[in-house]
Every structure is written in C-alpha cells, then in structure tokens.
Structure 1
C-alpha cells in the first residue's frame, strides 16, 4: 500500500510501566523524504492491579501467559478504541502497536510482547500492524532496538539519538550503517526504588540528588558482563530482576544512596557507550525529565550538546516511530536493520491483521 500520505495511530507500552502511549500521526513522503505531524496524543496509565500483574508476569507459566495475553489484548483494544472515539478519528490506515514486552530472551530465540493477538483488529475495528520483534529474533537478531531506523529517517540531523526509558538505548551512523544497542537499565531500577518510598518515580531526580554515591556498589555495577559485550545487544527486565537488583540489595544503604549510585552508573555507561564524546545527543523518554540524571550525563560528556525536544516528541517518540514502522510494513519496505539487531538480513517486520 504505497501512497504519499498516511493517517495512523502509534501505540507503545514501555518497560517502565508508565502506561500506554498513544499518538495520532500523519506522515507524508515527498521525494523520498518523510515528514510527520504528531496530533492528538496521550498516555493512559495502568491501574495498580495491572502494574502488579505486568511486574510479576516474567515468572508466569505458559498457561498464565496465554491468559494474560488475551486479557491484555482486550485492555489494549479498549484503550485504543476509546482514544479513537474521544478524538473522533476517521479514515485511519492502521493502528501500529508495539504491545508490552514480558519476556525478552533473544539468546534463546524467544521474545514475547503481549497485546498482539489477531482479535485486536476485530475489537478495535481497525487494521492493526503489530508484533514487530518476533520475526527479527527468528532471523537471528536481538529483536531490539527497532527504533533506530526511525531515528535515521526522521532525526538524521543529530549525531546520536538516545532514549531514557525503562532502559537506555542509543543509535548513530557509523561507516554508513545505523548502529544501535541497549546501554543499561534506567527507569526499571530508578522507579523500583521510588516505588519503595510510595512514589511513582523520583521527580526530577530530587531524591537521587540528596543521596551519596557508594563507590563499592558502583564498581560492582560497572563490571557486569553485559557492559563488556559488543553490540548488537539488548536488555530485558530479566536482567534487572536476576542480576541488577540482587547486587544493589546486598548493600545496606539508604534508598537515596541507591538512587544516586545508580544514576551515576547510568551516566558512566552512557559516556562509555558513545564512540565520539562530542556533538549532539538527542534525548527522549521519561528519564529526560530527571534533571539530576541529565546533569550527571552532562558531567561525563562535557563536550556533548544534550538536546531535549518539545514535550510531544519527548514523550511520544517511540509511539511515533512504531507508527512509522507500521507504515513501512504497509508499504512492504525495510523497517528492521541487521546492522542494529544482528539479524541475518534487513527485513520488513511486523504482522498485519486486517479489519474484516
């Protein structure tokens, strides 16, 4: 379905469990140049029960996961339908939905994003493009990150594009190839400790700022095997649950000190990950609101110009780019890069469910 104009919705649920991001996007392509407009957009927060379920689902049995997948697909369909009705959206080409990652084990040839069952097209009365990661893993890739092709197409003027969400990831051009990989956990850990204080998150890093960096804990975190691996590489919540949190919990220090230390860890790993320590670093995701974290990153990269975009792009960039991935799938064009994921080939990933 190749044409010059597309009217779609991008839908994203990240590992930080902020909620479901929805963005109504209009794309236009002229002379192979893509332009976009983010129109209506909002984040629908999960209720406390769904947050609890999504946090613990990593330990579910297959039967439990199958039931969860069905229930979550129904939830997601209702959220999407309400968004369409609320904003009176008409003539949509597709809903392009990432779903929510529960398991990510590319080393075992497996990744699971719930909310991508075929029924979602029937329940939303829309064409739906979804389940973007599975095919890449089947082709020997990491299934992540997938956003970098969108960085190349929509944000090529920046030296680096970085997202600070549940995990940090970065993409950039090197030798005429797009390179991208996950760097470290971010809000999956920071929010975990903020939650212990009865908070959804550490607002602007104010609690982190009051803490002290623990050098012993910092050293242990910085020597984790993942950071020594070459890209392509990606992270899932399993890494946080099985590796990172147990290390932190062995240190009997205050939550403020844990937050401070982990913020320092994030900043160090980001600085180490960037091959060139100067230029422009386009930064999005919820972590971009964490002033303390941004200050620590800037301290590690004093020659880097950290650019934080307007709110719509900052908060909805991933929904925007998964909307683009869906459009590329509709066009039968490449939307996953082997240079990024390590798959056997560039390919057009995702599954299209037609509204019948």
Structure 2
C-alpha cells in the first residue's frame, strides 16, 4: 500500500483549539507527496480551555478522568467530521494535548486517551508518539523534523511559530537537527488576553507598542537560550521564566507584546546559523506566522541572506496536524518517525501506540 488517507490531530500549548486535518499521502519514486484534503480547527469551549490549562495542577484521579473525557470528546468530534464530510480515513494519528514535558525526569504526558478516541470515532488510532524516544534517553521532542525532511525538503529551515517556536534544518551526513527555540504564542496570546483579545490579530497591537530594553534583556537572560541542543521546552519552564518575567513587568500590553516579538525574532536569529553560501529559504508556519509584525521582525533580524516565506493558509494552520498524520503513516509502516540526531535518543525509533476500534 502506497497511499494513505489519515486524520491528523493536534492540540497545541496555546489552546487555540483542536486542529483536524484529513490528509492523503502517496509514496512515489522514493518521494512522499502530501495533500490536505479537508481541515478544520475546532475552537474549544471555555470548559475545555479551563480544564486543559489547569491539568498540571490536578490530582491523579482528576487527571485520569480528564485524559479519558478528552479522548471521548476528540473521538466524537472526529466521527462528526468524518460523517459531515463523507470521508474514508484509514486511521487517526493524534498528538494529544501536552500537560507535562520534563524529559530529563522521564516525564511527558499528552492527554486525550487513544483508546477512547478509537472507541468513539470507530477508527484505529496511532498516538503516544513521545514515550519510546524518552525511554531511549531522548527528549521525545521535537517530532516534526521527520516530516520537515520528507515533506518540505526544499527549505533550508522550517520554523514553527506555535505555542513554542522551534526550528528544523538539515545537517551534515544527511542527518537532521531541530530544537525548541523559545516560547511564542504562549506568551503572545497571554498578553493579548490581558488586553481583552483572544490573540493579537496580525500583530497590530504589538506594532503599536514600544520596545522595552530592560524587559527584552530579562526575556533573553535564561540559560536555556545558550544551552546546546538537543533541547526542548515545556509549559512548566515557560511559566517559571518567560511568563513570570512578563507578569512582573508593569508596562502596557502593547509595549510588552512589541518587546516579546523582538525577543522571539532575536532568539530565532541566534538559532538560524548559515548553512551555506547564498540565500537561505525559511518556511514560517504555525499561528504566529499570521502575525505580520512578528514575521517582518524575523525577516529584519535575519537580513537579506534569508528569504522568509509564509505558505498557503492551510499549510500555516495545519502543518503540525499534517505532520502528525504523516508520523502515523510511518508508524503504520514500521518506519522510524523519531530521529536520534534531533532528540538525543540512543537510536532512531518507531514511536507510537496503536489502538484498534474493534
């Protein structure tokens, strides 16, 4: 079998909603071809936002109950998506929603139980993509670089501006490197919320603000930014460092947004080291790619030797769901979907548990 129809699911740390992407993957002449055939973002009701945001503070019983209830919810939503659009997926690939990610302590938890998704969607489910890699001594993240290498190879750098900004790029000996750079929409959306908005559309409020040099210095100060890769960020780190720094600053939301965009752009400049002579093509995806002020700052800091590209809106919005669908395909084929060069694991590995609907 060389063609797969898969529903990819992604719930990011920014709590924008559940991304659902119905994708087709075809393997031809040793290359993968992808198409996003149908996609939608299901905006969370307040009860899910509150539950997912507070999950890290729940006791064991509450957390297990949330894991099962969220899995049931996801399964029901996928079933409606399939029925309403008359789709015929082979299976579902779900990232889940990350509650804990502390790989140095061998902890990483994504809620949205795969068994419950399978039972309520009545489709096979591939999930739990991170645990095997962590068991092998890796970070369990980032996982998207496999998809970057096989689906977006025309770009020198793939930058995802999600709740956390991360990069992926080719390296010598055909290995790929990737790591988390800094918090992104987790900060921007929190600051927009303080101004009474769910997000800063187009970065217009950030553009209206002024740079706060002292705040910028504090945001850039944590040792993580100078630490070598492989490395990854979790919500816990962001709360203690970046969000705590912003909360302690008494400036206006506009000024804090403006300064935070400079922080993100500066950290990306530090991360995107030249790979060769000539122009470097940089792909920007994730919700932050719609923030035109941030995208302009990134281009400004990188300079003329880099060409920053924002692709079609469906790719910007659903690239992570697309790639987790693809990671599910690789798991289905028993092919490596996690790279040791990226995560620091002892070996490349085939991550993911499979639940059958019947």
TM-score range, shorter chain: over 0.9
Q: 1:216 aligns with which of 186, 201, 214?
A: 214
CA distance in 2: counterparts of 1:341 and 1:86, whole angstroms: 38
**Which stretches in structure 2 are left out of the alignment for 5+ residues?**
none
Quote how far apart the aligned CAs of 1:197 are. Answer: 1.7
Asked whether the 8 Å contact 2:207–2:258 carries over to 1, the reply is yes
Q: Secondary structure at the match of 1:118?
A: helix
Aligned length: 353
1:146 and 2:148 aligned: no
1:79 and 2:77 aligned: yes
**Greater mean alpha carbon deviation, residues 321-330 or residues 24-33:** 24-33
* Map of 1:105 onto structure 2: 102
1:54-85 alpha-carbon deviations (Å, 9 max, x no partner):
11212222222111111111111111111111
CA distance in 2: counterparts of 1:344 and 1:10, whole angstroms: 27
Quote how far apart the aligned CAs of 1:217 are. Answer: 1.1
Q: 1:171 aligns with which of 165, 168, 184?
A: 168
Within a 5 Å distance, the mapping from 1:294-333 to structure 2 comes to 294-303=295-304, 304-333=306-335
TM-score, structure 1 normalization: 0.97
Quote how far apart the aligned CAs of 1:123 are. Answer: 1.4
Asked whether the 8 Å contact 2:230–2:344 carries over to 1, the reply is yes
TM-score, structure 2 normalization: 0.97
CA distance in 1: counterparts of 2:35 and 2:253, whole angstroms: 41
Quote how far apart the aligned CAs of 1:221 are. Answer: 1.3
Q: 2:262 aligns with which of 261, 264, 271?
A: 264
Asked whether the 8 Å contact 1:164–1:287 carries over to 2, the reply is yes
Within a 5 Å distance, the mapping from 1:1-356 to structure 2 comes to 3-90=1-88, 92-175=89-172, 176-276=174-274, 278-303=279-304, 304-356=306-358
CA distance in 1: counterparts of 2:18 and 2:58, whole angstroms: 22
Asked whether the 8 Å contact 1:69–1:117 carries over to 2, the reply is no
Quote how far apart the aligned CAs of 1:117 are. Answer: 3.5
CA distance in 2: counterparts of 1:227 and 1:24, whole angstroms: 36
Cα RMSD over matched residues?
A: 1.1
CA distance in 2: counterparts of 1:189 and 1:119, whole angstroms: 32
Quote how far apart the aligned CAs of 1:210 are. Answer: 1.1
CA distance in 2: counterparts of 1:183 and 1:302, whole angstroms: 19
CA distance in 2: counterparts of 1:191 and 1:171, whole angstroms: 24
**Which stretches in structure 1 are left out of the alignment for 5+ residues?**
none
1:223-275 alpha-carbon deviations (Å, 9 max, x no partner):
21110111111111111211211112222111111111111000000000111
1:28-51 alpha-carbon deviations (Å, 9 max, x no partner):
101221111110110000011211
**Greater mean alpha carbon deviation, residues 321-330 or residues 219-228:** 219-228
Quote how far apart the aligned CAs of 1:137 are. Answer: 1.2
Q: Secondary structure at the match of 2:346?
A: coil
CA distance in 2: counterparts of 1:119 and 1:53, whole angstroms: 18
Q: Secondary structure at the match of 1:262?
A: helix
CA distance in 1: counterparts of 2:69 and 2:348, whole angstroms: 33
